Amino acid sequence: MDFRMTPQQCELREAARRFASEQLPEVARELEEDDRPLPETWLRRFGELGFLGLNVDARYGGMGLGNLEALLVLEEFAKISAAVAFPLFESVCGPVKAIERFGHETLKQHILPRVCRGELVVAIAMSEADAGTALTDLKTRGEIRGDRVVIRGTKRWCSGGGHAGAYLVYCRLSDEPGAKGIGAVLVEAGAQGLSFGAPERLMGFRGVSSCDVILDNVEVPLENLVTPAGGFGKLMEAFDLERCGNATMGLAQAVAAVEDVTAYVQERQQFGRALVDFQAVQIRLAEMTMKVEAARLLIHRAVCNAAEGLPSILDSSVAKCFANEVAREVAGAALQLMGGYGYSKAYPMERRLRDAWGWGIAGGAIDIQKVNIAAAMVGRRFNQRRS
């Protein structure tokens, strides 16, 4: 077991760190202030530099690298902000991987190269008003009519909603109960009958658009069927990788918080000496660093242990749960050390704390990950509907 990165991985991470730290801080500030998604010009630049679809097969325009390499780059972008990293997140561990893994070849050829070139962002449309944690209660329906699929329903909490170029829509494709009737269909923006609700105003995630996705008898080609009824298990396999991406996006807030506060306590003077000279501050820095390093190792273990490219539900849930909790704790501790400066919008620390809380909700709340962990430990799923 070797925890060292290869020279190639080190070079890749350094290239991503240099680009993100030199080019993106001002972009991140503007996206935060205006609460708008990353402009297309930057998205295409990401594509030109090879940062999108890092782990997508080269046949479809990707770099063909592994999931670990993709997450190394994602962490560096997410340290700048969730808004600048979101398109990368969706391209390396979001619905794009479900399309690559399970989609029709025609759909792969149509969608994946555009994602890798920075021409398209694919968002995931899962949750509904009464189906968030209880996802198998979803009511959105897809009906196969000859060579078309007709979809009707409303999706909630769609990150990228109203801005993404396509949506992977989880829907009920048969009358079978629960997960047995659920599959997923790809719907491109501009489809007749597709519309969007008002933009959500969230505590964090500014620059990552979110709104309801309304499907009023939207028709798409049958080739856009990514998984048929009964494919819910496959979708969740792909979602285990998305959990690792979510964990990385949260972890990055903590990593950046530690980096910023470490510099701050060496510069800030109180009682005639630097804050870092106080033992209590030293202990706090050490605690934050231990948690960050442990979270990163759990994430990397999950993707390195992945069978056939997708992590297990146990590994991914452990990594997400721990990293989400660490992100909140570390960002909060760093803000406290910076005092009024950490609480001020003139510095990015308060944004990191707000975004850190969001990642512990998105993609499956922290406590739900603990239920997943317990289920994996005892080898059976728990029926939450039974009192």
Output the domain CATH number for residue 63: 1.10.540.10
Q: What is the pLDDT of residue 116?
A: 97
- Residue-wise pLDDT tens digits, 187-240: 999 999 999 999 999 999 999 999 999 999 999 999 999 999 999 999 988 888
Each of the 387 residues of the chain gets a pLDDT tens digit; together they read 788 899 999 999 999 999 999 999 999 999 999 999 999 999 999 999 999 999 999 999 999 999 999 999 999 999 999 999 999 999 999 899 999 999 999 999 999 999 999 999 999 999 999 888 888 899 999 999 999 999 999 999 999 999 999 999 999 999 999 999 999 999 999 999 999 999 999 999 999 999 999 999 999 999 999 999 999 999 988 888 999 999 999 999 999 999 999 999 999 999 999 999 999 999 999 999 999 999 999 999 999 988 667 888 999 999 999 999 999 999 999 999 999 999 999 999 999 999 999 999 998 899 999 999 999 899 888 887 775
Domain boundary among 92, 116, 140: 116
Spatial contact of 187 and 334, defined as CB atoms under 8 Å apart? no
Spatial contact of 240 and 312, defined as CB atoms under 8 Å apart? yes
The answer to the question of residue 153 being in a domain is: yes
Spatial contact of 51 and 114, defined as CB atoms under 8 Å apart? no
Closest residue by Cα to residue 143 from 167, 172, 169, 168: 172
The answer to the question of residue 45 being in a domain is: yes
Q: Say whether both 87 and 28 belong to one domain.
A: yes
CATH number at residue 250: 1.20.140.10
Q: Say whether both 216 and 245 belong to one domain.
A: no
Q: What is the pLDDT of residue 132?
A: 83
Tell me how far apart the alpha carbons of residues 319 and 325 are, in angstroms, rounded to a whole number: 10
- Where does residue 234 fall: left (phi above 0), alpha (psi -120 to 50 degrees), or beta otherwise? alpha
Q: Say whether both 43 and 81 belong to one domain.
A: yes
Give the strand pairing for 182-188 and 141-145.
unpaired
Tell me how far apart the alpha carbons of residues 243 and 146 are, in angstroms, rounded to a whole number: 35
Q: Say whether both 137 and 34 belong to one domain.
A: no
Beta pairing partners, 211? 158
Q: Say whether both 315 and 360 belong to one domain.
A: yes
Q: What is the pLDDT of residue 52?
A: 96
Listed in order, strand segments (DSSP E) in 107-188 are 122-125, 141-145, 148-159, 166-172, 182-188
The answer to the question of residue 85 being in a domain is: yes
Tell me how far apart the alpha carbons of residues 102 and 222 are, in angstroms, rounded to a whole number: 14
Q: Say whether both 94 and 156 belong to one domain.
A: no
The burial of 271, by beta-carbon neighbours within 10 Å (0-12 exposed, 13-18 middle, 19 or more buried), is given as: exposed
Burial 280-289 (b: 16+ CB within 10 A, else e): ebeebbeebe
Q: Say whether both 200 and 249 belong to one domain.
A: no
Domain boundary among 81, 116, 151: 116
3-state secondary structure of 341: helix
Alpha helices in the chain (DSSP H): 7-23, 25-34, 40-48, 67-80, 82-93, 95-102, 105-116, 232-267, 279-304, 313-338, 340-343, 349-359, 366-378
Q: Say whether both 94 and 165 belong to one domain.
A: no
The answer to the question of residue 132 being in a domain is: yes
The answer to the question of residue 187 being in a domain is: yes
Give the strand pairing for 210-221 and 273-274.
unpaired
Q: Say whether both 238 and 224 belong to one domain.
A: no
Tell me how far apart the alpha carbons of residues 255 and 80 are, in angstroms, rounded to a whole number: 10
Name the domain count of the chain: 3
Q: Say whether both 320 and 290 belong to one domain.
A: yes
Tell me how far apart the alpha carbons of residues 8 and 52 are, in angstroms, rounded to a whole number: 18
Structure tokens at 90: 């969706």
Q: Say whether both 347 and 237 belong to one domain.
A: yes
Query: CB neighbours (10 Å) of residue 188?
Result: 17
Q: Say whether both 313 and 216 belong to one domain.
A: no
Beta pairing partners, 131? 128
Spatial contact of 130 and 146, defined as CB atoms under 8 Å apart? no
Backbone angles phi, psi at 63, to 5 degrees: -90, -15
Closest residue by Cα to residue 222 from 293, 151, 282, 174: 151
Q: How many CA atoms lie within 13 A of 133 on its CB side?
A: 13
CATH number at residue 221: 2.40.110.10
The answer to the question of residue 384 being in a domain is: no
Q: What is the pLDDT of residue 309?
A: 74
The answer to the question of residue 385 being in a domain is: no
Q: What is the pLDDT of residue 133?
A: 83
- Residue-wise pLDDT tens digits, 25-81: 999 999 999 999 999 999 999 999 999 999 999 999 999 999 999 999 999 999 999
Domain residue limits at 27: 7-116
The answer to the question of residue 237 being in a domain is: yes
Domain boundary among 204, 230, 256: 230
